[in-house]
Structure 1
Amino acid sequence: MNAAAAKKPAQSEATPAQKTPAAAAKAPAAKKAPAKTAAPAKKAAARKRAVAPTPVRQAPPMAPPKILPMPIAATPPVPIAVRKDPKLANNWKTKPVEALSDDEVIAMPDSEYMNDKQLAYFRLKLVELKNDILANAGQTTENLREDTVVVPDPADRATIEEEHALELRTRDRERKLLKKIEQSIARIDSGDYGYCDETGEPIGVPRLLARPTATLSLEAQQRRELKQKMFGD
């Protein structure tokens, strides 16, 4: 009985040892368990990609439309407002040319446009303007002669030189105007004064009083200025 009892514990002790190889064989199978969790992770990533909004491709910026310049329409000229006093309409018949005023010349009837009295009146104005320009030119020459003394102060010398340059530019403009005055006097002698060079229409007494050397009517002058702005000189 004691021998049989002694054998039983040995067998009981051997059973755990016998079971250990089987447990060791099952251990690799337990390590493979994390591989099963990889599938849910892939599914979750796929779900995120499905839920995530697809990026919207933005269209390239469009170039702004080209705005073509609108053609400039010729605006009608603004007529010069002239008030003719009927009381002065017949004064030109009794007064000499030297005593006439601008208002009396404007009040003359249109039928008397550029008659002998008007031509003589504009000739007188052109001659007076010519004499004034020549007098200014002579005064400029005298001023330049008087200021030939050397001034020691540089600031004063610069001021004098600037005044001389300004005066010379003014005389240069008057020199060009003097040429136009002589041409206008020649037009009076030929009978073409007071009429537009392009259209042949009357220039008008008010415009000639404001600019005695005018050779174009107001409409023709505005058309020429419009062409110069669009196409240059």
Structure 2
Amino acid sequence: MLPMTFGFLVAGPVAGWMSDRLGSRGLATSGMVLYAASFIGLTLLPIDFPYWAFALLIAVNGIGVGAFSSPNSSSIMSSVPASRRGVASGMRSTFQNTGIALSIGVFLSLMIAGLAASLPHTLTTGLRQQGVPPQVAEQVGALPPVASLFAAILGVNPVERLLAPSGTLSSLPAGNRHTLTGREFFPNLIATPFHHGLVIVFGAAAALAVLAAIASLLRGAPDTRLRRQAGAQVR
């Protein structure tokens, strides 16, 4: 994930410097367009993607966020009188932090919905191919996909725990037990359902970024108006 951080660290200060000279609307809108494009690119990656392609896309993602954040904050601060900038800064931070917290729940819900659409059949089929009785495999496949999602994120194979209540694992041949509890079975098994869930998440993120780009494009030019007001007050 370092390319994303690097892209943000480079783009943020540069975009802030440029917004002081060129204005905020074009830079902030371009940043959101880049941000949306990076998510569209991520949806097109295959399951066995090369890292350089992933690194390039998340670097663009970081650049897009950096190019948007600094000009957008500058535009917000310059759109209010100087006496109200403390309030505006507090509201901006509140909305941003609240949005980040809400987005975690929203995108995890979308991810789980995507997994629920295809994981039960995939998990049931994979277990049956390794000798797990059909009834047990169907019971495991019918479990909520939350455990599988967090197991994938943490890099843990939950198959042993999922089969523990039925005692099925100990009755299987040694080769099947080794496969089921190994490092490759579970990741390969959930790869397609996990990809399906990610496509839903990235698609939703791209759509929201496009809406943000449209909102950014439609913003006025309050900074110019306030500068004129400030100049008139000075005169």
Structure of higher CA gyration radius: 1
Decide which structure has greater helix share: 2
> So what's the TM-score if we normalise by structure 1?
0.25
Higher relative contact order (CA 8 A, sep 6+): 2
TM-score by length of 2: 0.25
